[in-house]
């Protein structure tokens, strides 16, 4: 589910490891981070989700360089 600013974050459990991806309002992957395990991925994704809702779209793009 996308935030009010249109960005979304997902956790991927790929064969080569856990990854958190950030998608823009068009659905394109614009950022992400590899994580060592599921717990780290869930923690980072939770933080990004909070920022999606708390920050203005401009501040979010600046903070995550998207």
Residues facing residue 61 across a β-bridge? none
In a domain, 2, yes or no: no
* Tens of pLDDT, residues 36-46: 999 999 999 99
Question: Residue 41: which domain range?
Answer: 8-64
For the sheet with 29-35, list strands across it: 8-14, 17-23, 29-35
In contact, 54 and 4? CB cutoff 8 Å? no
Q: How many domains does the chain have?
A: 1
End-to-end, the C-alpha distance of the chain in Å comes to: 18
In the structure encoding, which two tokens stand for residue 65, read together? Answer: 């360089």
In the structure encoding, which two tokens stand for residue 5, read together? Answer: 């600013």
* Tens of pLDDT, residues 2-24: 666 789 999 998 888 999 999 99
In a domain, 30, yes or no: yes
User: In angstroms, rounded to a whole number, what is the distance separating the alpha carbons of residues 28 and 25?
Assistant: 7
């Amino acid at each position: 589910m996308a935030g009010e600013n249109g960005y979304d974050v997902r956790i991927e459990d790929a064969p080569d490891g856990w990854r958190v991806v950030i998608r823009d309002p068009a659905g394109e992957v614009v950022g992400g981070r590899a994580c060592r395990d599921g717990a780290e991925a869930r923690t980072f994704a939770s933080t990004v989700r909070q920022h999606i809702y708390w920050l203005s779209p401009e501040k979010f793009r600046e903070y995550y360089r998207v």
